[in-house]
Structure 1
Amino acid sequence: MHGASRNIADFYRKTGVSSAALGEDPHRLISLMLDGACKRIRLARACMERRDIPGKGKAIADACAIVSHLNASLDHQQGGDIAGRLSDLYSYAMRRLTEANMHNDGAALDEVSGLLEEIAGAWNAIPQSARDQPRQTPVPA
């Protein structure tokens, strides 16, 4: 997980999501990324309402980049079916964000924001004791 944590922290530094992320634990980094994606989507919605097309495009592109990075950082070996379902959901979110950008579809932005907020709520509800447990690696037979 340290490699994934470093990649997430590097991504944060490049996109400016949060400079505080560099010293955060992996669970907190994912939480910050989900929050950052939701903030970008809200910004895109505001830009759409102001008819700020370049601002809308940048905010949606930033949200897509964050969601793409979340998708790429999934551990399918450890996460199994849940990781697969999250990957499908993240892919769907990126498609809907692209459609929102192309068609000025505020409902699509709201839909994706709601999905990401639901994921964030579940992620943040993981008890601290479960976060602190070392990850189990399969023992070869």
Structure 2
Amino acid sequence: MPVFTTQQKAYAQYKNNKVMSASAPELTLMLYDGAIKFLNVADYAIEKKDLEKANTNIIKTEKIIDYLRNTLDMKYPVAQDFENMYSYIARRLVEANIGKDREIVAEVNRHMHAIRDNWIEVMKANHVYVKDA
């Protein structure tokens, strides 16, 4: 069983509180940020030939995309646009993982940054407070 320092425990509690107190738009932003983080780790892992770590982080990104797809409310027309975008990203992630392809990881990362940046603008336009952005 791992032993955690007081600082590690405090940080874990902070992160938990941040998630538990976040609004739905903020949670979506956190998911986008998480996907970007995992893509960055996967890219570095591929560069260093750590294929297991690359696989793990690409799969983490796939799970985020799957979650985002599953939470779409298809009664809104824009949801189909998001479905198409997430579907494309999901396919590219599988291709990136199979080939451990840094170019595809970079492409998906660019898409995730664009989606995240647009989401922040939507949040601001709707007067949702954007922390750390």
TM-score by length of 1: 0.75
Q: CA deviation at 1:72?
A: 0.9
- Residue 115 of structure 1 corresponds to which residue in structure 2? 111
Q: CA deviation at 1:32?
A: 0.4
Q: CA deviation at 1:130?
A: 2.2
Number of equivalenced pairs: 113
- Residue 72 of structure 2 corresponds to which residue in structure 1? 74
Equivalent position amino acid for 1:118 in 2: A
* 1:57-93 deviation line (CA, Å, top 9, x unaligned): 000000000011011111111x31x210111111111
Give unmatched runs, 5+ long, in structure 1: 1-17, 133-141
- Check conservation: 2:69, 2:86, Cα contact below 8 A: yes
* 1:69-127 deviation line (CA, Å, top 9, x unaligned): 011111111x31x2101111111111101111111211110111111111111110025
The higher-RCO structure (CA 8 Å, 6+ apart) is 2
TM-score by length of 2: 0.79
What are the equivalent positions in structure 2 for 1:1-141 lying under 5 Å apart? 19=16, 20-77=18-75, 79-80=76-77, 82-128=78-124, 130=126
Distance 2:60 2:123 in 1: 30
Distance 1:40 1:58 in 2: 9
Equivalent position amino acid for 1:31 in 2: L
Equivalent position amino acid for 1:30 in 2: T
Equivalent position amino acid for 1:124 in 2: I
Name segments (4+ residues, structure 1) moved above 3 Å. Answer: none
